[in-house]
Amino acid sequence: MAETLFWTGRYVERADDTARLVDVYVHRMLSDPVGRGVGASPDCGPLFGLLGVDLADTARPDVGVALFRLAYDPKSPSAIAGAILAARAGARGIREVISSEVWECLNVTGHGLTGQRRAAERLGPHVFLRFIRERAALFFGLADSTMSHDDAWRFLVLGRSLERADMTARLLLAGVPAPQGMDWPLLLHACGAYESFIRTHGWAAEPARVAEFLLLDRLFPRSVLHSLVTAEECLVALNPGSVRMGMDDPARRPVGQLRTRLEYADPAQLPDQLPELLGTLQEVCVEACEAITRRYFQYEAPVAWERDG
């Protein structure tokens, strides 16, 4: 159950973040014929690289290929539809530990994918992607308000927090090589941070300010620091025992070390440290997930008794 809850949180967050990114990226590609050359089809290859999806034999994927592989494909957990269906399949087996409202939200979302895709084919992909964003927000809102904040809820939030930190790192890596990469207002929209950033820093969307906000802001719930703090709080509650020296939790150790580094980081030095810091962040997410799997999700093989001679 713990493993299913952890991956349900990750899958729903992955669908939400991918929908945000694909929505703004495809919108920019379709509305900027000058940037790609007049008459040329848009190349969505960088979008696949950003999400870590293998292009296989597709040399130059266009918008149609990108939408199917990253949004509509029901068999790939890297696609939005595949992630939602994987989350629903797992949640079906743990309905006794999640609220009925949470299950109904996920079940309705899974059944609505086909109809939303048909609507997107008529009206544009924004219809499908907006549906996913709204349903993901509803899912986590219902989980927070209708589930007891016990270990089951903590595993769900833990998966969401690590997936969110990893996806924010990927988005920032795409914005590092600025003029070839994503522009900063687009990056803010992809992270759902545009309005919050404007209210905090005004209209001066400088790259350094944007990176600082998405990495270090303590109040914005989708920032890396906020996600790491939430993940560490879940790990502390899941393993409340204390030791006199060092840290005995291999999952909490890398998360806590990076959280401390970000909390005491000098914003003036952040632009020079950004590529290395984002690489470290992705490594920490992988290391923490592997440690969580070893600690909580490993299964022991049944004992095989030898027959008496």
Question: How confident is the model over 207-259, as pLDDT tens digits?
Answer: 778 888 999 989 999 999 999 999 999 998 988 766 666 677 788 888 988 99
Q: Tell me the backbone φ, ψ of residue 95, rounded to 5 degrees.
A: -65, -20
Residue with tokens 């949180």: 9
Share of the chain above pLDDT 90, in %: 34
Are the C-beta atoms of residues 113 and 83 closer than 8 Å to each other?
no
Note the pLDDT of residue 60: 67
Mean pLDDT over residues 50-59, rounded?
A: 66
Angle between helices 252-263 and 207-216 (to 10 degrees): 140
The pLDDT confidence band at residue 278, using thresholds 50, 70 and 90, is confident
Taking phi over 0 as left and psi of -120 to 50 as alpha, with beta for the rest, 56 belongs to: left
pLDDT surpassing 60 at residue 303: no
Residue with more model confidence, 298 or 283: 283
pLDDT at residue 45, as a whole number: 66
pLDDT at residue number 156: 94
Burial category of 74 from C-beta neighbours within 10 Å (exposed 0-12, middle 13-18, buried 19 and up): middle
> Residue 308 pLDDT more than 70?
no
pLDDT of residue 37: 46
Specify the pLDDT at position 105. 94
- Residue range 160-180, pLDDT digits in tens: 999 999 888 887 876 554 434
With a pLDDT cut of 70, the percent of the chain lying above it is 81
pLDDT at 58 over 70: no
Cα separation, 244 vs 155, in Å, equals: 26
For residue 67, name the pLDDT band (cuts at 50, 70, 90): confident
Confidence at residue 59, expressed as pLDDT on a 0 to 100 scale: 60
Q: Are 224 and 262 in contact (CB under 8 A)?
A: yes
User: What's 69's DSSP letter?
Assistant: I
Alpha-carbon span 229 to 268, nearest angstrom: 22
* Nearest alpha carbon to residue 65 among 55, 75, 77, 74: 55
pLDDT of residue 30 exceeding 70: no
Average pLDDT along the chain: 82
Is residue 106's pLDDT more than 90?
yes
Q: Write out pLDDT tens, residues 189-200.
A: 888 888 888 888
Average pLDDT over residues 66-88: 89
Closest CA to 222 of 7, 24, 13: 13
Q: Which has the higher per-residue pLDDT, 110 or 47?
A: 110
